[in-house]
Amino acid sequence: MKKLVLSLLVLLGFFFVSTAQVLELYHDGELFEMGEKVTVVDYPQTFELVSHISVKNVSSQNLTLFCRKIELEVVPGTSNTFCWGICFAPSVYLSPLTIVLDPGETTDEFSGHYKPAGITGINKMCYSFFPQSNPNDSTYFYVDYFATPNVGINDLGANRVFVSNPYPNPATSQVSFDYNLPEGTTRATINIHNLLGAKVKEINFSGFAGKATIDVNDLNDGIYFYSVKVANEIQETKRLVISR
């Protein structure tokens, strides 16, 4: 059975320069921060692995939107396509068609498709959405299509770091994370910093898989950032909101 795992990835403007964000992304009905990553896991013999995202116009004007795919790391012998209103050939990287959204309107017309052709490996993609009037104002997310004979989350976690989105977020009294760590990991922590960069909380992961819960009753309402650190190396950094 297909497993869909969310993980976090923050890259500092590696591909895009954004002036003012006019689009929001939603995954399974939840707000998906720009630059986050979806991991889609299935067997190599599966015909195709599919990712979905919803795009919302949060500006005050109509937007005519393009979609672009970017191949970051491609497994030889495989192919990938995307749909934006209609589906395009693997050779298409910029949608020849546009979708027009009114202010506040959301479209579910995007999907990414990866055909592993029986080959084991990870195909890394990025998809961006931008208005025709301002191509520099891109909103984007990443997808890892992971074709593996072992589709269980425990098999995936044996070799890769997986930490879920924090829940609840915004948090009131405590916040939790589900995680899987590579076997042999000797030290892994979650560190929470305030906007001034000062560390206000740290918690150690216990074991290679489980649930980590942090008490935030002593923290003031506001925006914080948490970092996942494995073997003294930061894996990812993301925003946490505390609101009561």
Domains and CATH numbers, the chain: 3-151 (2.60.40.10), 160-242 (2.60.40.1930)
184: left (phi over 0), alpha (psi -120 to 50) or beta: left
What pTM does this model have? 0.58
Instruction: Tell whether the model's pLDDT for residue 14 goes beyond 70.
Output: no
Q: What is the mean pLDDT of residues 49-64?
A: 94
Instruction: Tell whether the model's pLDDT for residue 149 goes beyond 80.
Output: no
- Residue 90 and residue 48: Cα distance in Å, rounded? 13
Q: Which residues contact 1 (CB under 8 A, 6 or more apart)?
A: 151
Rounded to whole angstroms, what are the CA distances from 21 to 8, 25, 165? 19, 11, 22
Instruction: Tell whether the model's pLDDT for residue 13 goes beyond 90.
Output: no
* Bigger pLDDT: 15 vs 189: 189
What pLDDT sits at residue 6? 38
Instruction: Tell whether the model's pLDDT for residue 134 goes beyond 80.
Output: yes
* Bigger pLDDT: 11 vs 42: 42
- Residue 101 and residue 55: Cα distance in Å, rounded? 9
Tell me the average pLDDT of the chain: 83
